[in-house]
Amino acid sequence: MTKVPTTDIERCLGQIEELVRAGCALVRIAVPRRADTAALAQIVPRVGVPLIADIHFSPARAIEAIEAGAAKIRLNPGNIKSRDDIYRIIDAAKAHDVAIRIGVNEASIRDLTREPVPLAERVDLMLAEMRQYVQLFEDRGFERIVLSAKTSDVLRTIEVNRRIAAAFRYPIHLGLTHAGLPEDARIPSAVALGTLLAEGIGDTIRVSAAGDPVIETAMAVEILVALGLRERRRPELIVCPTCGRTEIDVVKLARQVEEALRRIEKPCRVAVMGCVVNGPGEAADADFAVCAAKDKAYLYRHGQRIATVPEAQIIPKLLEALAAS
């Protein structure tokens, strides 16, 4: 999701480009005001990915976004006051062949009841709300829908999505909402989304974290790559955990290798190992391995030693070997 004002068209375009470069296949964009949907109309023809307009409360913004060329709108029908307004949005989406993501989240469940809802009942209520909205869309003859139910809790996210997958036949968007700062969001997001994706649940994902959306995207891509759902486009660095055999600063060496690999665009597996006793064997499935000894390292390619290099030459020699492969 973009995180600059949509009306700042050039910055918005720049961020979309960064997100696409980082691996985004579709980008969500906030359109809280009339000026934002007007900006969206100018942005759509200048980008190569589908844009999703994020709608809160306003039927007018939803219809404007549809007319502006959004590929999909994200809507929580519970935020739209009248059924007629929801029907107007559905009709506009139908006329423009635009999809609608029906979003339900725990916070809106709380708002609807005006009472704190016990944890044990929240998933049931989210599911009931989703069922009611899906029915509303189907009654209007609209089935280009994507379902998403979000909570900030890992277990409830897994449970509600499993139940949605069992109950409905529509695509599902996954996300763990308000997951925190990137360092805090990484593991809960990977557990929640990874568990569901491994079960075959989920068609699109978003990792939510405060700050740079490129970091969110990188995390999402990592999850997909780890599950074999996305091909790795860049080198993968594996590093041994180190032990009493380690004679050099492996973390420092791994950081140097990581930095050097940032410039490499091809997918490959590079290992940094802290010894020459077990390192070569443990890194045998890596494309390249640096097995460090005191003041020097042995360089391996596909399990075969190709060079012995002094410490200062480790990075240049590794890059040379990568370039030659």
And the tokens for 158?
């897994």
Which residues make Cβ contacts (< 8 Å) with residue 138, sequence separation at least 6? none
Minimum separation from the CB atom of position 293 to ligand SF4 (A): 10
Residue identified by tokens 């994020």 is 54
Minimum separation from the CB atom of position 262 to ligand SF4 (A): 24
Phi, psi of 297 (to 5 degrees): -145, 150
66 vs 240 by CB, closer to ligand SF4: 240
Minimum separation from the CB atom of position 277 to ligand SF4 (A): 6
**Contact between residue 255 and residue 272 where contact means Cβ atoms under 8 Å apart:** no
And the tokens for 288?
């390249």
Minimum separation from the CB atom of position 311 to ligand SF4 (A): 16
155 vs 277 by CB, closer to ligand SF4: 277
Adjacency order of strands within the sheet including 236-239: 236-239, 269-273, 288-293, 296-301, 304-310
Minimum separation from the CB atom of position 117 to ligand SF4 (A): 48
Instruction: Please work out, in degrees rounded to the nearest 5, the angle formed at the alpha carbon of residue 98 by the alpha carbons of 59 and 148.
Output: 75
Report the DSSP pairing between strands 173-176 and 204-207.
parallel
β-strand partners of 307: 299
Phi, psi of 247 (to 5 degrees): -115, 0
223 vs 293 by CB, closer to ligand SF4: 293
Q: What is the largest CA-CA distance in the chain?
A: 74
- Interface contacts to ligand SF4, rule CB under 6 A: 240-243, 245-246, 273-275, 277-279, 282
Best CA proximity match to 25, nearest among 46, 49, 2:
49
145 vs 275 by CB, closer to ligand SF4: 275
Give the whole-angstrom CA distance, residue 48 versus residue 44: 8
Minimum separation from the CB atom of position 301 to ligand SF4 (A): 18
Give, in order, the Cα–Cα distances in Å from 253 to each of 140, 275, 307, 325: 61, 12, 17, 22
42 vs 242 by CB, closer to ligand SF4: 242
118 vs 244 by CB, closer to ligand SF4: 244
62 vs 253 by CB, closer to ligand SF4: 253
68 vs 283 by CB, closer to ligand SF4: 283
Minimum separation from the CB atom of position 16 to ligand SF4 (A): 42
**Contact between residue 76 and residue 124 where contact means Cβ atoms under 8 Å apart:** no
Minimum separation from the CB atom of position 280 to ligand SF4 (A): 9
